């Protein structure tokens, strides 16, 4: 007898896969590869201060010394000799939307960025390839003393001292090979400073679009949330698909001051030719709270483990993440937490879905050091396998060095429960609808943490449409 099977559709990427052919004369780019000359050229183009050029060259040396990680997904398809590390539009960054070149403007219009800015954001930065093409902040947010600008303006303007004090201090170039690469060729990204006690009521957003084939994007995001301040920052990323490898090796450094709160939400939807080797790290002072909300849907290969250092006493971190790995994807995601202060607490809660031959790996590291008395931590991960050609692994590590800690961990890998389907069917729901409801509910803990428009986008990304098929 033929067996009826239910299938979950792949993510519909057509929204993100459109592309405009870039005219050579409209863009400036360096040649492929990674040499000291290219690094100098990027630095010259960006009008770096002298110390930044030295920093870049030193990072390049570190890059050449460090090995490719041997523990994660295969990245042998990534050849740095083929990657263009710097591409920018010749028009420069605009503060007025109408001044942005029409093809770039159309790209962001299709992605809904201006609309989101009008309806629900306090400020927007839009990066196209290596540089920001548009940046705008609402007057009332500026009036609060909030600084939200592109990294280049911050670096070469009045905030240079603040940038120099914080730039790649949390993620030093020695951290790993791709942090060193970032240090050498970084470009674009945002700088945010929230003064003490200021609560930014509506989110700021940066959107990163990598349009050029065979290019890399290396944006640097530096956010300083001062004592008692509050901020929600949203990051979105996408790219059209090409037949050549693209690389994303961005870096995010977050400094969360005493009793401050920062929520950092990401919907990552790079194309399936992308190597996403991104590094994100936060440090929390006394009483601070760091919240990560992370959705990983795109990329061919992903290494993504936002890290939080709970340095101050009573600081807290929550990480909520979902990963959806479809055909041709190997997504290695998770989180790292280091608890140093007393009475610190952390909570990691992740979900992953694998289908159509996709591979997802949840990888985490929880470290509670000697001085972190009365600390608590919980790590929870659940994985759903939707067919028998996919793969799902969980690799959670815990390193506990004080007896005055309470740590709990639970993980589960499995398929959609027959009992749950039976229960729903006994209430008159069809098998297909029942499975759709279960998968939708599985992702619910992440979608409810997202702003409404992003939750809608996520639900669009996961088209949990079930269909009957003979199999």
Partner 1 sequence: MKINSLKSLTWNALKLNEVILEDKIVLNGSGKATVEKIPAGAMIGNESCSDCGGCDLKSSFNIRSVKCGMGEEAEAFFAEASKDVLMVHARPGRSVTEPVSIRYLMENGDSNADRVEIHAAEDSSITVIMDYSSSKREARGFFGVQTKIWVGRNAKVHLVKVNLLGSGFLCLDDIGVFVEDNGYFDITQMCLGGGRNYIGLSAALKGYKAEFNGDMGYLCLNDQSLDMNYYIAHTGRKTGSSLNVKGALRDRAGKNFRGTIDLIRGAGGAHGNELEDVLLLSDGVVNKTLPVILCDEEDVEGTHGASIGRLSSDMLYYMQTRGFSKYEAELLATKAKLNSVRNLIKDEHTHGRIQYYMEEAFK
Please report, as ranges, the residues that interact with partner 1 according to CB under 8 A: 70-71, 363, 365, 370, 383, 385-388, 390-415
Burial class (CB in 10 A: 0-12, 13-18, 19+), 23: exposed
d(CA 6, CA 3): 10
Closest distance between partner 1 and the C-beta of residue 417, in Å? 9
Nearer Cβ to partner 1 (142/397): 397
Determine the 3-state secondary structure of 272 from DSSP.
coil
Name which of 154 and 348 has its Cβ closer to partner 1.
Answer: 348
Pairing of strands 301-304, 274-277: parallel
| Cα–Cα separations (whole angstroms), residue 229 to 29, 103, 217 | 39, 38, 30
Distances (CA, A) of 205 to 6, 215, 261: 37, 23, 16
The distance of Cα 250 from the centroid of its chain, to the nearest Å, equals 9
Name the residue nearer to partner 1 (CB basis): 296 or 390: 390
Residues 181, 231 contacting (CB under 8 angstroms)? no
- Comparing CB distances to partner 1, the nearer of 89 and 360 is 360
Q: Which is nearer to partner 1, 215 or 385 (CB)?
A: 385
Specify burial of residue 471 (Cβ count, 10 A radius: 0-12, 13-18, 19+).
exposed
Residue found under tokens 């098929």:
469
Q: List all residues 6 or more positions away from 291 whose beta carbon is below 8 Å from its beta carbon.
A: 261, 262, 263, 264, 317, 318, 319, 320
The smaller minimum CB distance to partner 1, of residues 271 and 383, is found at 383
Q: Please identify, using beta-carbon distances, which residue of 115 and 410 lies nearer to partner 1.
A: 410
**Minimum Å distance from CB 222 to partner 1?**
24
Minimum CB distance to partner 1, residue 82 (Å): 27
Least distance CB 63 / partner 1 (angstroms):
18
Length of the chain: 471
Q: How far is the CB of 403 from partner 1 (least distance, A)?
A: 4
Question: Cβ of residue 169: shortest distance to partner 1, in angstroms?
Answer: 19
- Strand partners of residue 84: 215
Of 407 and 464, CB closest to partner 1: 407
Q: Toward partner 1, which CB reaches closer, 189 or 396? A: 396
Are 396 and 410 in contact, with CB atoms under 8 Å apart? no
Buried b (16+ CB within 10 A) or exposed e, 209-238: bbbbbbbbbbbbbbbbbbbbbbbbbbbbbb
Beta carbon of residue 406, minimum distance to partner 1 (angstroms, whole number): 4
Pairing, β 246-248 against β 123-128: unpaired
Q: How far apart are CA 315 and CA 376, in angstroms?
A: 11
Residue 248 CA, distance from chain mean position:
10
Q: Which residues contact 395 (CB under 8 A, 6 or more apart)?
A: 334, 361, 362, 363, 364
Q: How far is the CB of 230 from partner 1 (least distance, A)?
A: 31
**C-alpha torsion sign, points 323, 446, 147, 94:** positive
How far is residue 258's CA from residue 333's CA, in Å, rounded to a whole number?
29
| Nearer to partner 1 among residue 243 and residue 403 (C-beta) | 403
Identity of the residue, 238 or 375, whose beta carbon is nearer to partner 1 in the bound complex: 375
Show the tokens assigned to 392: 């799902």
Closest CB to partner 1 among residues 40, 409? 409
Q: What angle separates helix 431-442 from helix 418-426, to the nearest 10 degrees? A: 120
Tell the smallest beta-carbon distance from residue 178 to partner 1 (Å). Answer: 14
What angle do helix axes 452-461 and 113-120 make, rounded to 10 degrees? 150
Query: Least distance from C-beta 435 to partner 1, angstroms?
Result: 13
For residue 292, the SS3 value is: strand
């Amino acid at each position: 007898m033929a067996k009826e099977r239910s299938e979950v559709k792949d993510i519909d990427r057509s929204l993100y896969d459109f592309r405009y052919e870039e005219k050579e004369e409209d863009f400036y780019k360096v040649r492929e590869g990674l040499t000291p000359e290219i690094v100098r050229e990027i630095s010259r183009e960006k009008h770096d201060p002298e110390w930044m050029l030295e920093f870049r060259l030193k990072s390049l040396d570190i890059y050449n010394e460090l090995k490719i990680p041997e523990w994660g997904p295969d990245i042998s398809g990534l050849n740095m000799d083929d990657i263009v590390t710097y591409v920018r539009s010749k028009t420069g960054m605009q503060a007025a939307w109408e001044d942005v070149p029409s093809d770039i403007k159309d790209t962001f219009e299709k992605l809904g960025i201006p609309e989101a800015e009008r309806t629900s954001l306090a400020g927007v930065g839009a990066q196209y390839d290596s540089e920001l093409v548009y940046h705008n902040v609402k007057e009332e947010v500026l009036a609060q003393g909030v600084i939200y600008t592109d990294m280049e303006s911050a670096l070469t303007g009045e905030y240079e001292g603040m940038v120099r004090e914080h730039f790649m201090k949390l993620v030093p170039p020695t951290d790993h090979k791709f942090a060193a690469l970032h240090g050498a060729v970084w470009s674009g990204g945002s700088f945010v400073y929230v003064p003490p006690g200021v609560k930014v009521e509506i989110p700021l957003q940066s959107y990163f679009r990598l349009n050029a084939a065979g290019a890399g994007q290396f944006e640097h995001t530096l956010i300083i949330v001062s004592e008692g301040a509050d901020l929600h920052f949203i990051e979105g990323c996408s790219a059209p698909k090409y037949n050549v490898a693209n690389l994303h090796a961005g870096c995010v450094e977050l400094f969360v001051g005493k009793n401050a709160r920062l929520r950092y939400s990401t919907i990552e939807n790079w194309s399936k030719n992308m190597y996403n080797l991104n590094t994100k790290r936060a440090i929390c002072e006394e009483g601070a709270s760091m919240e990560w909300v992370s959705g990983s849907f795109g990329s061919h290969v992903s290494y993504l483990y936002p890290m939080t250092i709970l340095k101050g006493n009573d600081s807290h971190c929550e990480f909520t993440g979902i990963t959806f790995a479809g055909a041709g994807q190997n997504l290695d995601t998770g989180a790292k937490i280091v608890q140093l202060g007393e009475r610190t607490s952390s909570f990691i809660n992740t979900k992953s879905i694998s289908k159509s031959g996709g591979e997802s790996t949840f990888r985490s590291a929880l470290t509670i050091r000697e001085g972190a008395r009365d600390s608590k931590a919980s790590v929870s991960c659940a994985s759903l396998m939707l067919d028998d050609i996919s793969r799902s692994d969980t690799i959670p590590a815990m390193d506990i060095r004080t007896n005055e800690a309470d740590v709990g961990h639970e993980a589960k890998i499995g398929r959609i429960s027959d009992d749950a389907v039976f229960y729903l069917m006994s209430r008159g729901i069809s098998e297909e609808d029942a499975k759709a409801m279960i998968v939708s509910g599985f992702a619910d803990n992440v979608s409810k943490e997202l702003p409404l428009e992003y939750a809608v986008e996520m639900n669009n990304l996961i088209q949990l449409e079930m269909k009957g098929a003979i199999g």
